[in-house]
Amino acid sequence: MWIIPAVILLLGGYGLNAFHRVAVAGNRVQRAWKDVDAHLKRRHDVIASLVITLQQYAEHETTAIEDINCTRDHCLECTSPEEKGRAEGLFSAQIKNLLAVTANYPVLKADREHLRLQSVLTEVENDLQSARHYYNYAVRAFNTMIKAFPHHIIADRLGYSPEEALELALATR
């Protein structure tokens, strides 16, 4: 007689535990994405400062400057990891191009602010890479969890779907 309520209680506890684990894993992915996004915004700010220093020394490099500003604006508009990954890949290529352009200006290469900003950019790129690795780890763990029994039942009921991993090309490598 007590076996049926005990089994119901055990199944209910197991279901609540599964719900909790799915919710925690989903929140971990969201927090990791916010961390990546914060590093991307910091990267964009550093690039904006680099562009300003370039404008002071290389007034005729307007095409490269306009291109990077346009791509930067597009990156800021993207919201999903997939969109951001594509846009940031193009942005990284343009950052490399910008850094190559600055190599043509010896006075700019000797400018302290420019050197400081390049150092900060390297630091930001390293932080971004670490954040991306953690985000992809969280996504992988979450996607694995919501495909396994009984978590997939809970995830389906709550509307969770697999998340996209983030691929980013770094500008300083």
Domains, the chain, with CATH or none: 11-35+58-158 (1.20.1440.20)
**Cβ contacts of residue 168 below 8 Å, gap of 6+?**
85, 88, 89, 92, 128, 129, 132
- C-beta separation of 168 from 132 below 8 A: yes
Lowest mean pLDDT among 39-43, 59-63, 153-157: 59-63
CA–CA distance, 56 with 91 (Å, rounded to integer): 22
| Average pLDDT of span 45-69 | 81
One-letter amino acid of 2:
W
Q: Which of 66, 97, 99, 73 is nearest to 87 (CA)?
A: 73
Q: Which helix (H) or strand (E) holds 110?
A: helix 106-110
What pLDDT was estimated at residue 133? 93
What pLDDT was estimated at residue 172? 58
Q: Which of 94, 78, 95 is nearest to 86 (CA)?
A: 78
What pLDDT was estimated at residue 29? 94
CA–CA distance, 83 with 87 (Å, rounded to integer): 6
DSSP letter (8 states) at residue 164: P
The pTM score is 0.81
**Cβ contacts of residue 33 below 8 Å, gap of 6+?**
81, 135
Per-range mean pLDDT, top range of 9-23, 120-134, 157-171: 120-134
State pLDDT tens for residues 79-134.
888 888 888 888 888 888 888 877 777 777 777 888 888 889 889 989 999 999 99
